[in-house]
Structure 1
């Protein structure tokens, strides 16, 4: 069992800790995590950019096996913390790839935990993609209250929308009993926005609702997120349904 993980075998989507191809230049790495004593599946997305540069979105644990597998795909150049919660493995990846640039949502660098951790944040993610990937990947920000912010990516070639926490679709059968109960109560098992994230986004008001509309307007053919079963079929419709709680989606 890898250091920092203590989840039963049934949690998550095996094989764990290795890249699984979804499309040309696009992979996911499924793994498990423990948050507040609860075991959960978690997912990293890997995008290969022109020239072989790899972008790691929401990095999972950095292991020798995963590093070796990524070396066969390209060179790790970009580490992305797409929310204020998905950053805890950055330090290990920075040590393994000191030349990689670390990007994070606005506000993450100001969190006390982050400052104490000594994690290096090189630049903030913005509403527009940087020149490093703007031709291949679009991006945007979903801002809410309580310092919540999530950066989404849209991989143009595969028409894949890459989210993190704004949609959760956990399968109760994949969770330990206590986690199963808590996930249901939190609204994390219904292919929509969990209650606590929904509350934060509502504080963003009209600006956040407009950002959600723009994201939905991308009409993705696949939607990935960090926790649970992705939208692989009829993805655009499922995405709209996931955000009907905003009252703006028809």
Structure 2
């Protein structure tokens, strides 16, 4: 039995795709200055890119923003940069609630024992808040960033701004934006995204998730073509951003079970033939509204469940980021780098305001029908006092 066979035999113990088969793609954004490291992760093949950014310091060495999984491939690519530009000196965890970022910081930091680790304030864990060292952060070299900061712990070519932490009952949400002044590049984590129409390169290294979601039912067999990959990617984007978009139907379990017994692929990788999805014909229009020709977007989950709890604080943070007059934006998910303007960044947060900012580009409001399931979740959480009520727009 091969390692891969053994891995799939126990897939249910670690249901976060791509399990142990995690690839890394390094891309040079700005020659000898900025690099991105892309990986993927997801659940039930709803896979999206997750990104780490590395910046060369003017005095030599490297700064790492939002570490990804320190796989042998990832570390090999990092060692190549260290050999040319110097050792990793700073590692930044820019989020409070993003488990997909937080879980890798400790293991990544152990690969670079001389690097200082800077983390967003008010880290938390569930169900019990644990000491930072118990969460894997190295005890003697981990520093909590302050908001507002009294001094800048980063080299002089950087500035930073902290959003939150926004209290959410069981936990909190926070994000550290970092600005590299020489390249006029802003690094952000989850606050904004830009969704590409076609699947990114990192997602296409293993096209199986794309083809899995390109099917119209459990009996469907699709060919591996660019059109099918794009179809699967666009449906994945709807899943990832809405959880249950209006175009998605969930059949009765009996129907799913009966179909699974007849499925052409009943392997473990295919979840034994189970495919509990049906897509209505307007799914494509729903994606086009979400994608908005690649415009900057605050993810629907953040819009409905998190940032509307602190609109004034969020707008203040967005205005501070805009004041950097950046020319390039690198988020941790979906498309990057982005040649986005500060005005476009600020416009993405206009859903928190009573009157949207005027901007000379098409508007792509999110369909109310797609937002409805998230708003139902919000009502349930608010009634149960699990999250605080939303605040009035400013």
Deviates more, 1:111-120 or 1:135-144: 111-120
> As a proportion of its length, which structure holds more helix?
2
Q: Could you say what secondary structure the match of 2:333 adopts?
A: coil
Q: Which residue of 2 aligns with 1:227?
A: 333
Q: Output the CA distance in 1 between the equivalents of 2:339 and 2:106.
A: 35
Contact kept in structure 1, 2:242 and 2:301, CA below 8 Å: no
Whether the aligned pair in 2 keeps the contact of 1:141 and 1:150 (CA below 8 Å) is yes
Report if aligned partners of 2:51, 2:333 keep a CA contact under 8 Å in 1.
yes
Residue 33 of structure 1 is matched in structure 2 by 41
The structure-2 alpha-carbon separation of the partners of 1:219 and 1:249, relative to structure 1 and needing over 3 Å to count, comes to farther
1:95 and 2:99 correspond: no
How far off its partner does 1:197 sit? 1.9
Structure with greater strand percent? 1
SS at match of 1:30: strand
User: Would the aligned equivalents of 2:329 and 2:340 in 1 still touch at CA under 8 Å?
Assistant: no
User: Mapping of 1:130-169 within 5 angstroms?
Assistant: 130-143=151-164, 144-146=166-168, 147-169=172-194
Which moved further from structure 2: 164-173 or 17-26?
17-26
Separation in 1, partners of 2:116, 2:193: 28
Unaligned runs of 5+ in 2: 1-6, 8-15, 204-209, 214-234, 244-288, 358-394
Cα displacement (A) at 1:164: 0.6
Q: Report which stretch shifted further, 193-202 or 135-144.
A: 193-202
Query: What does the per-residue CA deviation read over 1:31-82, in whole Å, with 9 as the maximum and x for residues that have no partner?
Result: 2223576321111111122321311101112234223223233211111111
Relative to the length of structure 1, the TM-score reads: 0.82
**Offset at 1:23?**
4.9
SS at match of 2:343: helix
* Structure 1 position 113, deviation (Å): 7.8
RMSD: 3.2
Report the more deviating stretch, 21-30 or 171-180: 171-180
Does residue 67 (structure 1) correspond to residue 78 (structure 2)? The answer is: yes
Q: Which residue of 1 aligns with 2:144?
A: 124
**What is the total number of aligned residue pairs between the two structures?**
244
Partner Cα separation in structure 2 for residue 201 and residue 184 of structure 1: 15
CA distance in 2, matches of 1:138, 1:239: 18
Question: 2:335 is paired with a residue of what secondary structure?
Answer: coil
User: Separation in 2 of the partners of 1:103 and 1:249?
Assistant: 35
Separation (CA, whole Å) in 2 of partners of 1:101 and 1:134: 12
Q: How has the CA–CA distance of structure 1 residues 55 and 35 changed in structure 2, closer, same or farther, with 3 Å as cutoff?
A: farther
Cα deviation digits, residues 202-239 of structure 1 (max 9, x gap): 22242332121121222210111011123633422321
> Structure 1 pair 234/78, CA: closer, same or farther in 2 (3 Å)?
closer
Residue of structure 2 equivalent to 1:182: 239
Determine if the alignment matches structure 1 residue 192 to structure 2 residue 293: no
Structure ID, larger Rg: 2
| DSSP-derived class of the 1:43 partner | strand
Deviation of the 1:25 alpha carbon: 2.3
Q: Which residue of 2 aligns with 1:21?
A: 29
